Chain A
């Protein structure tokens, strides 16, 4: 069964450094998403991406964040200058044309900012 993959599984970085989190969505999906989950809290929406542009973003997704689909398969989240409070699990998700089928999540990248 096709699945969303994410790399790395765990990233440790120093405050102020840039990080890029990578995702490979399910191949025939058209909508892509990033969510984050701070430990012990609920999952929060960051951004959605369709047709090579951002379709919706939350207040969390400020100028420090950017997304890109550099080729036909990868979908990346960049955090320009990490802060301690960026430490969280970051999930990539994708879905097909019909919203009813739901978003399929990757296994997540655990980001630790020191």
Chain B
């Protein structure tokens, strides 16, 4: 079974700074997908960024980028120029076949 670990339960950063959220996973599979989801106080799950395991190039979506280290099974999320609206829970997720396996989340607070 796959597991996803997010070792930082909470983080806070000043507005406009850069923050990195860590995620590690465990799998014996070679082809899979990785995602970061954002959950603001409304509790809606919003897809932030995606990465295919067979692609070496790190995914980027505007201010969000990942550092994907397949051998180390690490998938961190970097948020640049953080904004107040980035305050949320962030969940790392691993996808194989049909289901997403989520980590326990990191609560990120952006301080004005």
Write the residues of chain A forming the contact surface with B, with a CB cutoff of 8 angstroms. Answer: 31, 33, 35, 37, 41-45, 48, 50, 55-56, 58, 89, 91, 93, 99-105, 107-108, 110
A43:B45 contact, CB within 8 angstroms: yes
- Shortest distance from the beta carbon of A18 to any chain B beta carbon, whole Å: 24
B44 touches A100 (CB 8 A): no
Residues of B within 8 A of A (CB): 33, 35, 37, 42-47, 50, 52, 91, 93, 95, 97-105
Q: Would you call the interface of chain B mostly helix, strand, loop, or mixed? A: strand
Q: A104-B47, A105-B45 are in contact. Are A33 and B95 (CB under 8 A)?
A: no
Contact between chains at B33 and A91 (CB < 8 Å): no
Question: Main secondary structure on chain A at its contact with chain B?
Answer: strand
Q: Is B47 a contact of A102 with CB atoms below 8 Å?
A: yes
Contacting pair B103 A42 (CB below 8 A): yes
